[in-house]
Chains A and B, each alone.
Chain A
Amino acid sequence: MSSETMSIFSPRLAARFDALVAKYPVKRSALVPMLLYAQDEIGYLSDAVIAEVAERIGITELDVRNVATYYSMLRFKPAGKYNIQVCTNISCMLRGGYDILDRFQKELGVGHKGITSDGVFSLEEVECIGACCWAPAIQVNYDFHDELKPELVPGILEGYRAKAGFPGDGSTSLGRKAEGKAPHA
């Protein structure tokens, strides 16, 4: 596919995909990361995303969907600009993970997989995110927040709310890089 003319992705991401499919011994190996990177940019796996990924890899859309539905990070509906993922697995649970989840629910007025009406935040209860020794932990998009307390929740939301709506606001990994923001807070 000529990435400049008909891609639904930004030229930068399209170029990245061109490189990605060429990198592996087998083109299809690019599928899983490609879906995630596409979602990072577009927000979710829309029909158009599925169609373009299928074409780039040279498999059917059905094949792409079949794989995509397996992975828990991939979604087929938009999430909030900042997707808050609260770990409640054992290490976090023992240190108050559910209190953190409750507080986010209260502050945002949404439950598991809910999106705030302004579309700024969505909330998810997730399994272990590999930050067990710094529990309770959450991820906001790809940023970790460790050793949380319920009273820290409003401040975290405030920080992201202030950034919402500006370009390069850290809502994607690329944006965060541009900003030089530390991934752990």
Chain B
Amino acid sequence: MPRLVSHPDEVKIVTRRFGQGAANIDRYLELGGYQSAKKCLEQGPDWIINEMKASNLRGRGGAGFATGMKWSFVPKQSPKPKYVLVNGDESEPGTCKDHLIFLHDPHSVIEGTIIAGLAIGSKLGFIYLRGEYRYLLEIVEKAVADAYARGFLGKNIFGSETEFQIITQSGAGAYEVGEESALMESLEGKRGVPRIKPPFPAVVGLYGGPTIINNAETIATVPHVIAMGAESYAAVGTPRNGGTRLFGISGHVERPGVYELPMGYNLKKMIYDVAGGVRGGRKLKAVVPGGSSTPVLLPEEIENLGMDFDQVGKAGSMLGSGGVVVIDDQTCIVEFALRTISFYQHESCGWCIPCREGTDWLKKTFTRFHAGFGTASDIDNIQHIAQNILGRTFCPLGDAAAMPTLGFIKKFRKEFEDHLNGKPCPYARHEELAAV
């Protein structure tokens, strides 16, 4: 089992049932499960959407879009069926929180999906897990079967006249499929190439029907918002950033793990108190605050940084997926940048040229550069390439590659320059990368 951690500063809302056997439906019911779905069934769609709006819950998949707002975009009347799509593709490097939700509390995802369905008037939801999460898919499938057996899913949920079905789905390896329109393509049995927006999924989504797509953590949070009341939930966080977030702290910290902390929690405290500080008493060099696509931050930039969407945005980065990657002073930033761009190069779906070719050039340049064959003009050239990907692609993967690249160069130009003139990397430890 992946290690569960805890810290006194945590506010356990979404993780409340972790480690308590709540994958078992009876245990989930004992712990208050499915009460929120029943309540929503009585209250109706408008009430649900108002609660979601009042909760200030923002999407946990990366972009931080207001959940209540997203749900309200779905047309009330639609000639085509509407769908709920739960995004459990979880592939952004540094991110492993949905992993724990599926493992410890799969029914919260099911209950959240039912509520989302009630809110928009959908009869069918999909829970999509990345292919590598097979053991988690089996846990979710068992939970779905149990919910059917109890009548919480099916033609007449909770004995009502309302129908709601859930289908679970496995991916087969692709980061890009986490992008919402690519996810719909994959679910339709196609290559995970995104769609041009507009139209947005809320209007034309899966099978052409209005569709809401939410991250698994967002959906798992929904029943808790209903249970504790939107106002109380919102009060936990900061203005416009309701509640808590599952922060996955990884890299060079003493106690890596997934911690549930209020939105706006100070990043420095997160690293030094919650996660026990930098490993081996070393110095902090940099932090990637929200998964590998978010621009790197320097130690002086995190002093007073509250971890919510707005504050991290103001600091020039993004809260992203909540994956905080901590880097100590023994790390080569050039190698780190190379590994980051290699990922995006590998995952580019290849549809648009700036992303497909740009990530390829970047990877090649970084590889040569790190191997000690860089030229002074490479540094500006890297910037130039990244700048030309930015905003010129069909989906945000191009930006996800360009933004961190620009951050590395901007904040660590000196370290790049130190690699020039045949100077070996002071932190070199891996020839494999140099040989690519």
Contacts from A to B (Cβ < 8 Å): 23-26, 28-33, 35-37, 57, 66-67, 70-74, 88-91, 93-95, 98, 101-102, 127-135, 139, 142-144, 146-147, 173, 176-177, 182-184
Closest to A34 in B: B189
* A36–B174 CA distance with the chains assembled, in angstroms: 13
Please tell me if B154 contacts chain A, counting CB pairs below 8 Å.
no
On whether the beta carbons of A130 and B91 are closer than 8 Å, the reply is yes
On whether the beta carbons of A90 and B191 are closer than 8 Å, the reply is no
Of B94, B130, B173, B189, the residue contacting A90 (CB under 8 A) is B94
Closest to A147 in B: B3
What distance in Å separates the Cβ of A45 from its nearest Cβ neighbour in chain B? 10
On whether the beta carbons of B207 and A89 are closer than 8 Å, the reply is no
Of B135, B174, B288, B429, the residue contacting A70 (CB under 8 A) is B174
* A140–B417 CA distance with the chains assembled, in angstroms: 40
* A32–B346 CA distance with the chains assembled, in angstroms: 20
CB contacts (< 8 Å) of A182 on chain B: these are: 1
Of A70, A93, A127, the residue contacting B91 (CB under 8 A) is A127
CB contacts (< 8 Å) of B81 on chain A: these are: 25
On whether the beta carbons of B1 and A184 are closer than 8 Å, the reply is yes
Please tell me if B112 contacts chain A, counting CB pairs below 8 Å.
no
Contacts A32-B172, A35-B172: A67 and B191 contacting too (C-beta < 8 A)? yes
Closest to A93 in B: B339
- Which of B250, B288, B429 has most A Cβ within 10 Å? B250
What distance in Å separates the Cβ of B287 from its nearest Cβ neighbour in chain A? 12
What distance in Å separates the Cβ of B101 from its nearest Cβ neighbour in chain A? 11
Of B131, B135, B249, the residue contacting A71 (CB under 8 A) is B131
On whether the beta carbons of A134 and B174 are closer than 8 Å, the reply is no
Closest to A74 in B: B172
CB contacts (< 8 Å) of A127 on chain B: these are: 91, 93, 175, 343, 346-347
On whether the beta carbons of B256 and A133 are closer than 8 Å, the reply is yes
What distance in Å separates the Cβ of A40 from its nearest Cβ neighbour in chain B? 8
Closest to B3 in A: A134
Stretch at the interface among B38-46, B114-122, B323-331, B369-377: B323-331
* A182–B433 CA distance with the chains assembled, in angstroms: 34
Stretch at the interface among B24-32, B163-171, B220-228, B358-366: B163-171
Closest to A59 in B: B189
Of A29, A72, A130, the residue contacting B96 (CB under 8 A) is A130
Closest to A173 in B: B134
On whether the beta carbons of B170 and A33 are closer than 8 Å, the reply is yes
Report the interface size for chain B: residues with CB under 8 A from the other chain. Answer: 65
Of A28, A130, A147, the residue contacting B130 (CB under 8 A) is A130
What distance in Å separates the Cβ of A173 from its nearest Cβ neighbour in chain B? 5
Query: What are 26 A-B contacts defined by CB distance under 8 Å?
Result: A32-B169, A32-B171, A32-B172, A36-B170, A36-B172, A37-B170, A57-B189, A73-B172, A89-B292, A90-B94, A91-B323, A93-B335, A128-B95, A128-B292, A129-B132, A130-B90, A131-B2, A131-B96, A131-B99, A132-B250, A133-B3, A135-B251, A139-B132, A142-B132, A144-B135, A184-B1
CB contacts (< 8 Å) of A132 on chain B: these are: 93-96, 248, 250, 256, 323, 325
Closest to B340 in A: A90
CB contacts (< 8 Å) of B429 on chain A: these are: 98
* A142–B139 CA distance with the chains assembled, in angstroms: 13
What distance in Å separates the Cβ of B154 from its nearest Cβ neighbour in chain A? 14
On whether the beta carbons of B175 and A133 are closer than 8 Å, the reply is no
Q: Which of B286-301 contact A (CB under 8 A)?
A: 288, 292
Contacts from B to A (Cβ < 8 Å): 1-3, 81, 90-96, 98-99, 124, 130-135, 138, 167, 169-175, 186-193, 207, 248-252, 256-258, 288, 292, 323, 325-327, 331, 335-336, 339-340, 343, 346-347, 349, 429-430, 432-433
Closest to B326 in A: A94
What distance in Å separates the Cβ of A14 from its nearest Cβ neighbour in chain B? 18
CB contacts (< 8 Å) of A88 on chain B: these are: 339
On whether the beta carbons of A133 and B173 are closer than 8 Å, the reply is no
* A172–B208 CA distance with the chains assembled, in angstroms: 36
CB contacts (< 8 Å) of A29 on chain B: these are: 169, 187-189
What distance in Å separates the Cβ of B364 from its nearest Cβ neighbour in chain A? 18
On whether the beta carbons of A23 and B173 are closer than 8 Å, the reply is no
* A36–B177 CA distance with the chains assembled, in angstroms: 15
Closest to A35 in B: B172
Of A33, A67, A134, the residue contacting B256 (CB under 8 A) is A134
Contacts A127-B347, A128-B91, A130-B98: A94 and B207 contacting too (C-beta < 8 A)? no
CB contacts (< 8 Å) of A173 on chain B: these are: 134-135, 138
What distance in Å separates the Cβ of A44 from its nearest Cβ neighbour in chain B? 13
- Which of A24, A26, A89 has most B Cβ within 10 Å? A89
CB contacts (< 8 Å) of B132 on chain A: these are: 73, 129-130, 139, 142
CB contacts (< 8 Å) of A135 on chain B: these are: 250-251, 256
* A176–B138 CA distance with the chains assembled, in angstroms: 11
* A183–B23 CA distance with the chains assembled, in angstroms: 15
CB contacts (< 8 Å) of B340 on chain A: these are: 90
Of A24, A142, A146, the residue contacting B2 (CB under 8 A) is A146
What distance in Å separates the Cβ of B37 from its nearest Cβ neighbour in chain A? 22
On whether the beta carbons of A183 and B135 are closer than 8 Å, the reply is yes
Closest to B350 in A: A70
Of A26, A89, A98, the residue contacting B188 (CB under 8 A) is A26
* A30–B187 CA distance with the chains assembled, in angstroms: 8
On whether the beta carbons of B189 and A91 are closer than 8 Å, the reply is no
Closest to A112 in B: B432
CB contacts (< 8 Å) of A89 on chain B: these are: 93, 292, 339, 343
What distance in Å separates the Cβ of A142 from its nearest Cβ neighbour in chain B? 4
